Amino acid sequence: MRQLLKLILVIPLLACVISQAQNVSQIDSLKRLLPSQKIDTLQINLFNKIALLYSAADSANTFLYANQAQEKATKINYKKGIAKALEAKGNLFISKTNGPKALVFFKEASNIWSTTNDELSHAECYRNMGQAYLVILQQNNAIIELEKAEKIFIKYKNKLGLSTVYQTMGNVYRDKGNNEIAIDYFLRALKLEEDNKDVKSIGSIQNNLGRLMNETKNYPEALKYYTQSIQTSKTIGDSRLIGIAQLNLCNVYAVQLNYPKAIELLLEAKVNFTKSNFQRGVQICINNLGAINLRQGNYDTAIVYLKSSLTIAKENQTQLGVALVQQNIGYGYMKLKKFDESLRWFKDAEATAIKYGAEPFTYGEIYNHRSMLDSAVGNFESAFIYRSKYIAITEKTSGESVIKQVNELKTKYDVEKKELLISLLNKTDSIKSLAIANQQIAINKNLYDIASQKLALADAGLQLADDSLQLSIKNETILQNRLDSTQKEERIQDLNKQKRIQELEVNRKNITIIALSVFTVLILLLGYSFYKRRTLQQQATMQAALAKQQQQATIEIINAEEKERKRIAEDLHDGVGQLMTAAWLNLQALDNQTQADNSQQYQLINKTLLLVDESCKEVRQVSHNMMPNALLRKGLVNAVKEFIGQINTGKLSINLQTEELQKALPSHVETILYRVIQESVNNVIKHAEATQLDISINQDEEGIDVMIEDNGKGFDTTITRATDGIGLQNIQSRILYLKGTVSWDSSANNGTLVAIHIPTNA
């Protein structure tokens, strides 16, 4: 193998990629701000922010809050709220690397933004559409949308938005094989982010620069940038970005044949991807373990790893890098001299690359190894054709001119950065000199002010002496007047003393009366407060007891239903089933007796025998559906697997994604979830006309989430029909029994998504 499989993905520059712990903290804070009654733009914006934060990992809650925001915004015709809700749903599918579904929501949001004057929000939508096109490797369409966003961000001097556009542009041109253009965009973005001091984005750009240096074989620079990216990402605890840089750094060590170091980095990256729930990264780690085993000649072990990687890609419905994995498997079979099997995998790899799009490196690997295979089996004409294709791609992506251009751009960036630093130092010295001059001027001004104040004080002293003389004359007159009025004042004071004594006596009595009144009122208030508190406590106790009784009654009703189902199932199996079996045995004996005659009577008996046999099977099937043994013996997950395994429509492909439940569920919760899943699957079979059905069952500390998604014809969720009886209404009522939530997201020709959440304390 010439190289390991490289990490091929877009670093999403959206709010949904922040850490899960930070998401939870922000979501809790936003939920506390939600108004309880009034529908206004503030409430709608809060719903949309919560939906956007959930879009990093939680499908059910993303749709729950986005749907509420969209519904409320539609009621008051708030276009911004509708568009933001659609973008939150699109971001969810970007995080799942499902570009086509993300584009459906982003395009609808773009149509709404075009009717408003909010150009910056429209630019963000253009950028998101560019990222969605990049996920599905439609680079030209991605460039069109990103250039629209770039013009608007430049117009408004929005550095943050412009940086995200340049980072995505760098990834686009890298995938197109234009490394010199890609590194120019990344260096532009790095300048902007250093000004913004955005640590997360700086780490992402450093990682992308490392990848480009690696591809141009500038390994020392690649090691430097990858190491910087890991250190930068560790300062903010971004496990996903740390894992990406470690995975890319592994490729550098593998090229240098340092396999122990490469394997150590792979295992560390796998731990970080698992911590951040990034299945795509886990898939690539497993694939690279296979690639290292290919290099070491452990071909059987390598093929096991590579096929496991393909399984994860299929479960996550992503085609990114699948062609390169397929060709690696073909290479392994070629080394094992299983040439027919190797040729089949190389053909699959080329078909996948053409159908879903692939970067030039992938085509180069396929063509190089296909030429080796054709040469080994003696098909030299085909070997020459594929070798020529490989050489053409290699010259385009790894030529000396490309390497020279990349290094020149890097040197230019370093020089500009140093010049900027020198300029800043010169400006700092000038500012310090100016500050010293200003301080000297301020000191001189203070000295002048002090001298002026001393002169003013001297003038004031002279004026004060003159005023004192005039005041003495006036005081003598005043003293004489006071002497005359002293006697009058003494008489008045005697009268006032008598009056004050009378007033104090009256005030004492009034105070006593007021104190008694206040004390009486306080006693009454305390008595009323105690009575009210006692009443509220009794009401709360009664409500809690009533709620407990209602919950217990609900559980007993459900248990009674299931017991009745079990009784009917046993009656069908042990009663009707046994009778049908006895009838079949009798008819079988009669059939054997009349077989030799080959008369009409024999044919009638034979047809009746077939009908009875079919009836026996139908009775067993009905009995099993009413009370599946797997649910009683093995739990919910195995019961669902067994139920799906019995479905054979010939047209519908069903995928179940789940793990064993970490915590055992109460029997009534398992029963209700099984019935709801059973009802939903039957609805898809009967009405959806779908070819693909995906079911996921996951459990965390908050509860259990179930998602059921099909690609059928969909339906209008706002219309309620009388025929819904035991369908949607029954599902909703059963989930409400468990204090859970269920929502449907569907529209014509866009399939249906059923999202169910049951809390832990159900």
pLDDT of residue 35: 61
Question: Higher model confidence: residue 145 or residue 53?
Answer: 145
Judge contact between 270 and 312, C-beta under 8 A: no
**pLDDT of 115 over the 60 cut:** yes
- Average the pLDDT over 326-344 and give the result: 91
Closest to 755 (Cα-Cα) out of 719, 703, 720, 713:
703
Reduced to 3 states, what is the DSSP secondary structure of residue 707? strand
pLDDT tier at 451 (50, 70, 90 boundaries)? very low
**pLDDT of 599 over the 90 cut:** no
Judge contact between 229 and 207, C-beta under 8 A: yes
List of domains in the chain = 634-759 (3.30.565.10)
Judge contact between 646 and 739, C-beta under 8 A: no
Question: Higher model confidence: residue 300 or residue 238?
Answer: 300
pLDDT of residue 387: 87
pLDDT of residue 448: 44
Question: Higher model confidence: residue 652 or residue 450?
Answer: 652
Q: Which secondary structure element, helix H or strand E, spans residue 744, and what is its range?
A: strand 741-746
Sign of CA dihedral 135, 138, 144, 150: positive
What is the Cα–Cα distance from 693 to 655, expressed in whole angstroms? 6
pLDDT of residue 120: 92
Which residues sit opposite 706 in a β-bridge?
697, 756
Q: Quote the tokens at residue 573.
A: 């199996």
- For residue 63, which amino acid is it? F
What is the Cα–Cα distance from 623 to 617, expressed in whole angstroms? 10
- What's the gap between Cα 514 and its chain centre? 66
**pLDDT of 276 over the 90 cut:** no
- Average the pLDDT over 530-543 and give the result: 82
**pLDDT of 13 over the 70 cut:** no
Number of H helices, E strands in the chain: 26, 5
Question: Higher model confidence: residue 324 or residue 474?
Answer: 324
Q: Which residue has the tokens 């179940």?
A: 656
pLDDT of residue 708: 93
684-716 confidence digits (pLDDT tens): 888 888 999 999 998 888 888 899 999 998 887
500-524 confidence digits (pLDDT tens): 777 787 788 888 888 888 888 888 8
Judge contact between 398 and 216, C-beta under 8 A: yes
pLDDT tier at 162 (50, 70, 90 boundaries)? very high
Question: Higher model confidence: residue 502 or residue 757?
Answer: 757
pLDDT tier at 133 (50, 70, 90 boundaries)? very high
576-596 confidence digits (pLDDT tens): 766 777 777 777 777 777 766
**pLDDT of 395 over the 50 cut:** yes
pLDDT > 90 fraction of the chain, expressed in percent and rounded: 14
pLDDT of residue 752: 92
- Average the pLDDT over 391-418 and give the result: 57
Query: Which of 47-61, 102-116, 450-464, 592-606 is most confident?
Result: 102-116
Q: Which residue has the tokens 């170091």?
A: 261
CA angle 641, 644, 646 (to 5 degrees): 115
Total count of residues recorded for the chain: 762
609-649 confidence digits (pLDDT tens): 778 777 776 776 666 666 666 566 678 888 888 888 878 76
**pLDDT of 382 over the 80 cut:** yes
Number of neighbouring beta carbons within 10 Å of residue 585: 11
pLDDT of residue 394: 77
pLDDT tier at 534 (50, 70, 90 boundaries)? confident
70-80 confidence digits (pLDDT tens): 999 999 999 99
What is the Cα–Cα distance from 758 to 738, expressed in whole angstroms? 7
- Average the pLDDT over 54-78 and give the result: 87
Judge contact between 283 and 7, C-beta under 8 A: no
pLDDT tier at 151 (50, 70, 90 boundaries)? very high
Q: What is the DSSP letter of 6?
A: P
pLDDT tier at 419 (50, 70, 90 boundaries)? low
Which residues sit opposite 703 in a β-bridge?
700, 759
